[in-house]
Amino acid sequence: MSKKQIKIALAGNPNSGKTTLFNAFTGLKQKVGNYPGITVEKKSGKAKLSDEYNIEIIDLPGTYSLFPKSMDEQVAQQVLCNNTDEDYPDVTIVIADATNLRRSIFLLTQVIDLKMNVVLALNMVDIATKKGILVNVNLLSEELGIQVVAINARKGQGIESLKQVIIKTIDEKPKKPFLDVTKIFKDVIEKANEIRGVENNYASFLTLCKQKLSGELLNRCALNQLCKQHEIIPERIQAKETVKRYKAIDKVIFSCVKKGAPVGKYQFTKKLDDLLIHPFFGYIIFLSVLFLLFQAVFSWSAYPMELIDGLFTDLSIWTANAMPKGMLNDLVVNGILAGLGGIFIFVPQIAFLFAFIAFLEDTGYMARVSFITDKLLRGVGLNGRSIIPLLSGAACAVPAIMSARTISSWKERLITIMVTPLMSCSARLPVYALIISMIIPPDEFLGFNLQGLVMMAFYLLGFLAAIGVAFLMKFIIKSKESSNYIMEMPSYKIPDWKTVIYTIVEKVKIFLFDAGKIIIAISIVLWVLSSFAPGKKFEQIEQKWTGKEDAEMHIAADKLEASYAGIIGKTIEPAIKPLGFDWKIGISLITSFAAREVFVGTMSTIYSVGDDNIQSIQERLKNVKNQETGEAFFTPAVGISLMLFYAFAMQCMSTLAIVYRETKHWKWPVIQFLYMGVLAYLSSFIAYQILS
């Protein structure tokens, strides 16, 4: 028997528990994509509703109303207001925070007025009760004319009843509009209905407020004309309607919500805030949190990384012996497995970093960090909300740049986008980790891991560079618009572990598959480039050394130099020699322009071509000798120069692509690429010349 498939949209304010409810519905069966043409993340998933129904559920971006101010909120409006949209839901769930009922049902009442089949999921009733806020659910349902279900999204309570109610609501529209806009703006709404050819009073009202509902471009002229005739100023009617709507909501709240004395630790958030946003200790605590974060990411992930490294080494040895000798064996072991190992080894660090960021967001601490840093960041042309993109930039610039969308000022958002890639992302982590492990001894310094401290210094350097460049851009980029910063400070919560784990799984997946694809492809191309040479060069080399001492080693080294990869590396060597790099690093630099993490894979491939001793990459690189001096090639000067180059250069095609999509202009990614390139070359040059 085939089941019926229905579409569900999940809407609600930020911090209302929307994502937690979404996770409770779908588990790990989620899909992250994009809405067509824009970069707003689209999260959807499938779930079973009953024996009769399956659902496809979309997690809409958090919004306070159907008057969007950002691209994210625009998406929510688009899906809900346009019944020809492919995601237009059969049933909409609006989730509301019971501790904050007045504000969170504003959106709900708008959805009711759009005549949608809607259910209210009332979350956090338990916390409300503790705070002394008692909600009469049955009365609320009666007043609103829709079904209301009390749930606890975290504990998964009430989900079954919610499912039952959804089924009931498939054929049940709200009984009455919550606020009848025709009573406020009589004839105009009817005329707007006529122009639009749709009998939906509230949707017509929204178009009169200059809201761009999709597919309404044709009607725009006629609607503007209508506004003129009736002397309607869109901003004024929108404000008037909002005030009336809140008055109606206040009446409902008055009858359905009783306020009693708070029970227990109601003061928890206040007390914690006394410390965390203290004018002095707040900053100290923030810096300590960052410090701990990087120490932890570095030292906690060391053990699983060793494990993965060992696993890949064993796998390579096993494969090398199990497969018949020859070209294919070489390709699999030194091309594919070497590349794969280079990716998997960084999963622990990425997982820990995203875990920390998800944890800080979910507890509500990030909002406090924005609050105490807004003024400071604005001094350099950023915004308190830039702290989230900047910190997320320490994980990956791509989602970080996307998260800059919450900044409403275009100039501040643009500057945030332009400097976020200077933050050391997780793709630089492999490069730093590899080089640090070679040039910095694993000693303790003042009780801290010295390698961890150097790592932190590089993260700090990225941050300082970002601040410096932002400051310059503040004077270069012109803008007339005013900037706003209005932000809710949610109550502190113990993070929902499921949400944190889902975030980690999602990000690691993206890293492994999206970055992994490129890395594997490049690994194979590299293997080809370094295993073949023009003409009969390889044969000549073999003839030259056959029978002599250490023949195999010399043949391998000469072959690499003669190969296509060697030719490319040699060509660019004069340009990078002043930075302390040789042609082998040159090859890695070229391949890293697709994505930085390719560096480790490339180094690993280049130095393993023709090498029959399977070693870990660290050991292999440590043994590389400088051909002129005979000493170890990776001196501190070369290492620092290389790390600086990676810290500043824009070597990520995905980031450039996302910057183009977010700024809608090629100018910005090009400027970004150039300024970062110049910064990288200059700082590497200076560092190498001083240190060597």
Partner 1 sequence: MQKLANLAIGTKGEIRSISDSDLEQKLLEMGCTPGEKIEVVRRASFGGPVAILVSSYVLSVRKEDALKIDVQLLKDE
Which residues here bind partner 1, judged by CB under 8 A?
Answer: 64-65, 67, 69, 99-100, 102-103, 106, 133, 235, 238-239, 242-243, 246-247, 270, 273, 277, 279-280, 282-283, 371-372, 374-376, 384, 482, 484-490
CB-side neighbour CA atoms (13 Å) of 343 = 23
> Do the strands 448-449 and 133-135 form a parallel or antiparallel pair, or are they unpaired?
unpaired
* Cα distance between residue 531 and residue 566, in whole Å: 10
The least distance separating partner 1 from the CB of residue 274, rounded to whole angstroms, comes to 9
| 61: its two tokens | 């971006």
* Cα distance between residue 496 and residue 39, in whole Å: 26
Residues in the chain: 692
> Do the strands 91-97 and 118-123 form a parallel or antiparallel pair, or are they unpaired?
parallel
Nearer to partner 1, 288 or 484 (CB): 484
Amino acid in the structure at residue 380: V
Q: What are phi and psi of 562, to 5 degrees?
A: -85, -15
Nearer to partner 1, 371 or 459 (CB): 371
Residues in CB range of 616: below 8 A, 6 or more apart: 309, 313
The DSSP code for 170 is T
User: Is-contact 68 76, C-beta < 8 A?
Assistant: yes
Nearer to partner 1, 372 or 562 (CB): 372
| 159: its two tokens | 């989900």
The least distance separating partner 1 from the CB of residue 236, rounded to whole angstroms, comes to 8
User: Is-contact 593 651, C-beta < 8 A?
Assistant: yes
Nearer to partner 1, 233 or 521 (CB): 233
Nearer to partner 1, 336 or 487 (CB): 487
| 608: its two tokens | 């393993």
The least distance separating partner 1 from the CB of residue 417, rounded to whole angstroms, comes to 21
Nearer to partner 1, 3 or 270 (CB): 270
* Cα distance between residue 154 and residue 499, in whole Å: 9
Nearer to partner 1, 29 or 259 (CB): 259
Nearest residue to 47 (alpha-carbon basis) of 65, 26, 69: 26
> Do the strands 53-59 and 41-48 form a parallel or antiparallel pair, or are they unpaired?
antiparallel
Buried b (16+ CB within 10 A) or exposed e, 459-490: bebbbebbbebbeebbeeeeeeeeeebeeeeb
The least distance separating partner 1 from the CB of residue 178, rounded to whole angstroms, comes to 15
* Cα distance between residue 31 and residue 556, in whole Å: 46
Nearer to partner 1, 238 or 451 (CB): 238
Nearer to partner 1, 109 or 449 (CB): 109
* Cα distance between residue 582 and residue 569, in whole Å: 8
Instruction: Report helix, strand or coil for 119.
Output: strand
Buried b (16+ CB within 10 A) or exposed e, 190-205: ebbbebbebebbbbbb
User: Is-contact 366 387, C-beta < 8 A?
Assistant: yes
The least distance separating partner 1 from the CB of residue 103, rounded to whole angstroms, comes to 4
Instruction: Report helix, strand or coil for 574.
Output: helix
Residues in CB range of 212: below 8 A, 6 or more apart: none
448 forms beta bridges with: 445
* Cα distance between residue 35 and residue 85, in whole Å: 11
Nearer to partner 1, 90 or 241 (CB): 241
Nearer to partner 1, 112 or 422 (CB): 112
* Cα distance between residue 505 and residue 471, in whole Å: 36
The least distance separating partner 1 from the CB of residue 272, rounded to whole angstroms, comes to 12
Nearer to partner 1, 283 or 668 (CB): 283
Nearer to partner 1, 263 or 653 (CB): 263
The least distance separating partner 1 from the CB of residue 100, rounded to whole angstroms, comes to 5
Residues in CB range of 395: below 8 A, 6 or more apart: 350, 353, 354, 357, 425, 426, 507
* Cα distance between residue 219 and residue 225, in whole Å: 10
The least distance separating partner 1 from the CB of residue 376, rounded to whole angstroms, comes to 6
The least distance separating partner 1 from the CB of residue 250, rounded to whole angstroms, comes to 8
Instruction: Report helix, strand or coil for 121.
Output: strand
The least distance separating partner 1 from the CB of residue 56, rounded to whole angstroms, comes to 29
Nearer to partner 1, 48 or 247 (CB): 247
User: Is-contact 568 530, C-beta < 8 A?
Assistant: no
The least distance separating partner 1 from the CB of residue 590, rounded to whole angstroms, comes to 45
User: Is-contact 468 683, C-beta < 8 A?
Assistant: no
> Following CA atoms 581, 583, 585, 587 in sequence, which dihedral angle do they give, to the nearest 10 degrees?
140
* Cα distance between residue 103 and residue 99, in whole Å: 10
The least distance separating partner 1 from the CB of residue 110, rounded to whole angstroms, comes to 9
The least distance separating partner 1 from the CB of residue 401, rounded to whole angstroms, comes to 23
The least distance separating partner 1 from the CB of residue 588, rounded to whole angstroms, comes to 44
Nearer to partner 1, 31 or 259 (CB): 259
Nearer to partner 1, 202 or 371 (CB): 371
Nearer to partner 1, 247 or 625 (CB): 247
Burial of 676 (0-12, 13-18, 19+ CB in 10 A): buried
Amino acid in the structure at residue 101: L
The least distance separating partner 1 from the CB of residue 152, rounded to whole angstroms, comes to 19
The least distance separating partner 1 from the CB of residue 107, rounded to whole angstroms, comes to 9
The least distance separating partner 1 from the CB of residue 73, rounded to whole angstroms, comes to 10
